[in-house]
Chain A
């Protein structure tokens, strides 16, 4: 199914005039995603605007991470046009928790600080302002007391929130979260979902997150894009729920 039409629906899902006053942060036109000669998803047409909370639902192996990696420039699109409305350094990326190596002896605060590395030149010291910003984002995610704890000793939900804090340190215009709700308990899911909603509403961020749990995505996202068997489409049910 072509979803060029969905682009407009997504952008107008929350507020009718949103698309008029904002520009697209990411636009994919007739993009084919894949690795080398392997095509994973074809004919992707998608635009993401500020202030939108979009969920990407699909089973494991359907191409969710491939789509994210393509948007982030980590994978080149096999064909089609991909354009970004802001530099890559303004993309906040939250990888799957399991993608990070627990071998590293890092405190939670050190992980969060990494989000500012793009602004700090090699010979510069980490400024007091940046340290203050770390405190701010830890406050924002509701875990100010855990900065000194070893990152890999935190629970799954706490780790996810720390990675969100790291993404916030970038001062992002758009946040892309790969399976932020998997591997965490129900309470953590709820708090992460609330955090994503809050970030979208208060900071006018675009948030694009994935999950293999369609029900969860339906509960959290304003708009839902489904991906499966090489196809990508807008979930009409969620669209119908819109006021």
Chain B
């Protein structure tokens, strides 16, 4: 339950991401409801893909030197590409719609396939920016900064107000175009306005949250609300509420269970649809009761995962001296920090030195921090390689670690760490999965253990190396806190 209170606190580091997700959950379904009712759901799938193509295209242009850097981060340039391609795509699809050439579904499917293909091609043309583009398209809303949140608030606020003010016009144009013409004149202005608002949400949403999540927010709550209501006003309201629920519980599950936000939210949204169609068969009382039970289960189930205990101090485990093993890297990546020394980089390129010879690794960072914190807890730490330089990193499997330690003529207690995941593709956070254990060497008994899993925010980092350094420090400090 502590996570629940933690994430809703404004001081929480990922609070801007939570607010951004909730705003998208509130506003996107309002647009999505009309896409569903107008039977243009695939537009909600195709436009984000077109926006993604725009992002990849502008990055390629920038790599060629044809576009200047805009703003501090990469999102400025991505925004331009996303907006331009979304509106051009909408214009083209609208033009073809007017000319009634071919099937509407066929046009959307072809546009989706084309946009997907050119996105990949633009990324192939621009290998240097591939990681940045992929990161943007993955839509890590978790990395939302306060400035970006302000921008998102402005855009989504505008869309929300417009959807509220023009709700009658949008409904009339969508439901009965002939009556709309008689009462309001040329209805094309309302069609254009609705699609402009949709384009705005999609273009910004793709940058902030990625195509998958934005499509999920647009369509899934609207589809889930449909079988449960019989009035348009209730439909719009319920869609938004379900969008909010999807955003909140998706975020909560994502943080608590260390799952990527987009797929978690979309899976939750799809479950809402099944749930809604199932609920249609039960009475209103049962409906309310079932909803309460589901929410309670979700909250309590997530709440059972309390953070593990902190590292015990030396007196508690009656051991002043422990062995600190090398940190084992099981990620299949070298996890070396980027070098900022150009001469060394040149030497490395010339094959004179190996990067391992001079570049610090994440394993080194963790071990340095561990050694320092263990000292503060009253332990005298000895490094395993001091006993024998050939000592390998020990696995987190206690039996295996104890056996290797005994083979190396060690006795007492050994502190082992094993990294299973360390993803630091952006300077704003690092995703990590690490096991830490205190193991008695004689019998392999585990005295203490803790698994660290999740996104570690690194708000003050200015580069990827700094992000890893900050994350390693925070992880180790948390192990010893309390």
- List the interface of chain A (C-beta within 8 A of B): 69, 72-74, 88-89, 91, 93, 95, 99-101, 103-107, 110, 114-115, 117-118, 120, 122-123, 150, 166, 170
Contact = CB atoms under 8 A, between A and B. Distances in A.
Nearest to B177: A74
A101 B172 contact: no
B454 to A, nearest CB: 40
Contacts of A110: 231-233
B182 A91 contact: yes
A107 B168 contact: no
Given A107-B230, A114-B176, A170 B37 contact: no
Interface of B: 36-37, 39, 165-166, 168-169, 171-172, 174-176, 178-179, 181-184, 226, 229-235
Q: Select the residue from B172, B176, B233 with max chain A CB neighbours within 10 A.
A: B176
Contacts of B165: 122-123
Given A72-B182, A93-B182, A114-B175, A106 B232 contact: yes
A175 to B, nearest CB: 12
Contacts of B178: 69, 72, 74, 93, 95, 99
Contact of A105 (B166, B179, B183, B231): B231
B181 A74 contact: yes
A114 B182 contact: no
A101 B234 CA distance: 18
Nearest to A114: B172
B58 to A, nearest CB: 35
Contacts of B166: 122
Given A117-B183, A118-B183, A101 B235 contact: no
A74 B232 CA distance: 26
A170 B232 contact: no
Given A100-B175, A120-B168, A122-B169, A105 B181 contact: no
Given A69-B178, A72-B182, A110-B232, 11 more contacts: A89-B182, A89-B183, A95-B178, A100-B175, A103-B37, A105-B231, A107-B231, A110-B233, A114-B175, A115-B183, A117-B183
A85 to B, nearest CB: 15
Contact of B168 (A93, A117, A150): A117
Contacts of A101: 37, 39, 175
B144 to A, nearest CB: 32
A89 B183 CA distance: 5
A106 B231 contact: yes
Nearest to B225: A105
Contacts of A166: 179
A100 B176 contact: yes
A229 B97 CA distance: 31
Contacts of A99: 176, 178
Contact of A118 (B171, B174, B184, B226): B184
Nearest 6 Cβ contacts at the A-B interface: A118-B183, A150-B230, A105-B235, A107-B231, A122-B165, A88-B182
Contacts of A118: 182-184
A88 B171 CA distance: 20
24 contacts: A72-B182, A73-B181, A73-B182, A91-B182, A93-B178, A99-B178, A100-B175, A101-B37, A101-B175, A103-B37, A104-B174, A104-B232, A105-B229, A105-B230, A107-B230, A107-B232, A110-B232, A114-B168, A114-B171, A114-B175, A115-B183, A120-B168, A122-B168, A150-B230
B475 to A, nearest CB: 50
A122 B193 CA distance: 13
Nearest to B229: A105
Contact of B39 (A74, A103, A107, A117): A103
Choose among A72, A95, A104 the residue with the greatest number of B CB atoms under 10 Å from its CB: A104
A106 B167 CA distance: 14
A180 to B, nearest CB: 15
A117 B182 contact: no
Contacts of B230: 105-107, 150
B253 to A, nearest CB: 29
A69 B226 CA distance: 32
Residue in B174, B230, B232 whose Cβ sees the most chain A Cβ within 10 Å:
B230
Contacts of B37: 101, 103-104
B184 A117 contact: yes
Contact of A106 (B175, B181, B182, B226): B175
A93 B179 contact: yes
